[in-house]
Amino acid sequence: MRRRKKTMACKCGGCHYTLNAKSSFDRDLAKTRKFLLRNVSALRMFTNGFFRSKWRSVAANRRIFSMDAREKSRSTILESSKDKRVPIFVMMPMDAFALDASGSPRIRKIKALTVSLKALKLAGVHGIGVEVWWGIVERFSPFDYNWSLYEELFKLISDSGLKLHVALSFHSNVHSSNGKGGVSLPLWILEIGDANKDIYYRDRYGFSNNDYLTLGVDQVPLLSGRTALQCYEDFMLSFVNKFESFIGSVIEEISIGLGPSGELRYPAHPFGDGRWKFPGIGEFQCYDKYMMEDLKMAACRVGKPQWGDRGPQNAGCYNSFPSGVPFFEEGQESFLSDYGRFFLEWYSGRLICHADAILAKAAKILKKYQEDEQTSVMLVAKIGGIYWWYQTVSHPAELTAGYYNTALRDGYDPVVSVLSRHGAALHIPCLEMIDSETPPTYLCSPEGLLKQIQSVSKKRIINVIGRNTTERLDKTGLWKIHSNCYNPQAEVVRSFTYFRMNDSIFRVENWNNFVPFVRMMSTDL
């Protein structure tokens, strides 16, 4: 994660969306081997002791249920939660891939990666998280899917004895990669965007970035005759057909990208293009012509056509603090006004409909694999961790991101309800974060946010998997992850994804913390 100055040093600054990690591949292979040889006695200890224990298949009880089935299955889910082992997945490095001169993808430093995978396996890590990029697979032209990179990578991971969490990534990480391993949207999408920038989210000044398609084109056939939803569906179908033999055996979790960084949210806090920095409240992202057309229709339906001309004009700018911004205070023209409630219900509602449509298609595609318990797989959806200004009444940073969550309204319940309807697990962030480590000036509460999300997830009877937001390899941070995963007030998380594999993990002082953490998470309590 990025370090800021005196404000939330290394905990916040825009990095809740980006994982600014050094790659383990920046070391040469010889150095990697030297480290492992130096620590071989410890690795042998792991294999001779606890880590010989057999892992029960994590996917075994992960069927996709209909809403009715899930409502009737609380006792089943509670029973399965008694399995106190929490499998650990480690995400691949951000720059694990490279494009050669012809634009074809390849794995960087494959020998070093192989050694790293074996070390993680010996340490007790259960699986590897891999982003499957739309911009790599369908890069050059519509329907021209090239899965060769992932065929090679999945085989390498499987041969190392590790399982897979696959994140189907319909976004770009160019702005968050610092020039290292950035993947754009497909080139043919970018060509369309050059002619029509309204296929991307836009702010009130007309600025946009090409990190993710606006949900305004979900149902508009602008992409070589297809809608965005059809593009996502075709990609998912191609993936499942290609890797059918891996699903349920090697691939245990499939996360579906729903927005920037794969998270269900608007790009209200764009990192990397200079518009926003932590702890700014962000800006509403609804000014592409397709969303504006929808807003106008929504305003007409409630008999207030004047409300459909634009978003709130008194909501500050990207780097505003909520104090002194009328829309986020409690006056007559605030988020509590009739107009404020109308706009926020529309803005958040469109985001929820976006998730509903994509997850419906994903659940339908994966349904046939649920008929056989051996091929069951967990469908996953990821939300952002917008924890700054959480202790205000209006929660402005969450509102601009699309979560209509305030001190007076639970904005995560509608989100979790959609996931429940499609049998999807919720991927929640911030498990390593501690309120006392955040600057009090910005009224942050990652712990409060996490508690709220865990509470509504328990109420809606859905599975939860966790992840960290900042890199923590110290004992305090890792212990915080453990305590959140086993929170007695919430369901035990079904797995934890560590962001991400990099040089830091393999440093002796960090490795000596990380391995006991993995063992602790992997032990029946």
CA distances from 6 to 10, 23, 42, 292, 362 (A): 10, 27, 39, 39, 43
In which band, very low, low, confident or very high, does the pLDDT at 254 lie, cut at 50, 70 and 90? very high
Confidence (pLDDT) at 73:
37
Q: How confident is the model over 486-509, as pLDDT tens digits?
A: 988 888 899 999 999 999 999 999
Amino acid at 118: K
Q: How confident is the model over 81-96, as pLDDT tens digits?
A: 445 799 999 999 988 9
In which band, very low, low, confident or very high, does the pLDDT at 179 lie, cut at 50, 70 and 90? low
Q: Are 311 and 272 in contact (CB under 8 A)?
A: no
Q: Are 493 and 86 in contact (CB under 8 A)?
A: yes
Say yes or no to pLDDT of 370 above 90. no
Confidence (pLDDT) at 295:
98
Q: How confident is the model over 290-322, as pLDDT tens digits?
A: 999 999 999 999 999 999 999 999 999 999 999
Confidence (pLDDT) at 522:
85
Mean pLDDT for the stretch of residues 378-391: 98
Say yes or no to pLDDT of 21 above 60. no
Tell me, yes or no, whether 480 lies in a domain: yes
Contacts 24+ apart (CB under 8 A), 145-153: 145/235, 145/238, 145/242, 146/104, 146/105, 147/238, 147/239, 147/242, 147/243, 148/104, 148/105, 149/97, 149/105, 149/106, 149/107, 150/243, 151/242, 152/107, 153/107
Domain of 215: which CATH number? Answer: 3.20.20.80
Mean pLDDT for the stretch of residues 214-237: 98
Query: For 61-124, what is the HEC assignment?
Result: CCCCCCHHHHHCCHHHHHHHCCCCCCCEEEECCCCCEEECCCCCEEECCHHHHHHHHHHHHHHC
Tell me, yes or no, whether 413 lies in a domain: yes
According to DSSP, the residues that pair with 178 across neighbouring strands are none
CA distances from 268 to 171, 420, 471 (A): 15, 26, 23
Between 369 and 170, the higher pLDDT residue: 170
Tell me, yes or no, whether 465 lies in a domain: yes
Tell me, yes or no, whether 115 lies in a domain: yes
Confidence (pLDDT) at 358:
98
Tell me, yes or no, whether 10 lies in a domain: no
Domain around 488: 88-277+349-522
Confidence (pLDDT) at 124:
96
Q: Give me 89's structure tokens.
A: 């997945």
Worst-scoring range by mean pLDDT, 34-38, 54-58, 155-159, 371-375?
Answer: 54-58
Q: How confident is the model over 31-79, as pLDDT tens digits?
A: 444 544 444 333 433 333 333 333 333 333 333 433 444 433 333 343 4
Helix (H, G, I), strand (E, B) or coil at 450: helix
Amino acid at 379: L
Q: Give me 188's structure tokens.
A: 């043919």
Least Cα distance to 4 among 467, 332, 319 occurs for: 319
Whole-angstrom distance, CA of residue 261 vs CA of residue 169 = 8
Using a pLDDT cut of 70, give the percent of the chain over it.
Answer: 83
Helix (H, G, I), strand (E, B) or coil at 166: strand
Residue with tokens 């997850």: 359
Tell me, yes or no, whether 500 lies in a domain: yes
In which band, very low, low, confident or very high, does the pLDDT at 345 lie, cut at 50, 70 and 90? very high
Tell me, yes or no, whether 423 lies in a domain: yes
Q: How many domains does the chain have?
A: 1
Q: How confident is the model over 256-268, as pLDDT tens digits?
A: 999 999 999 999 9
Tell me, yes or no, whether 50 lies in a domain: no
Confidence (pLDDT) at 22:
39
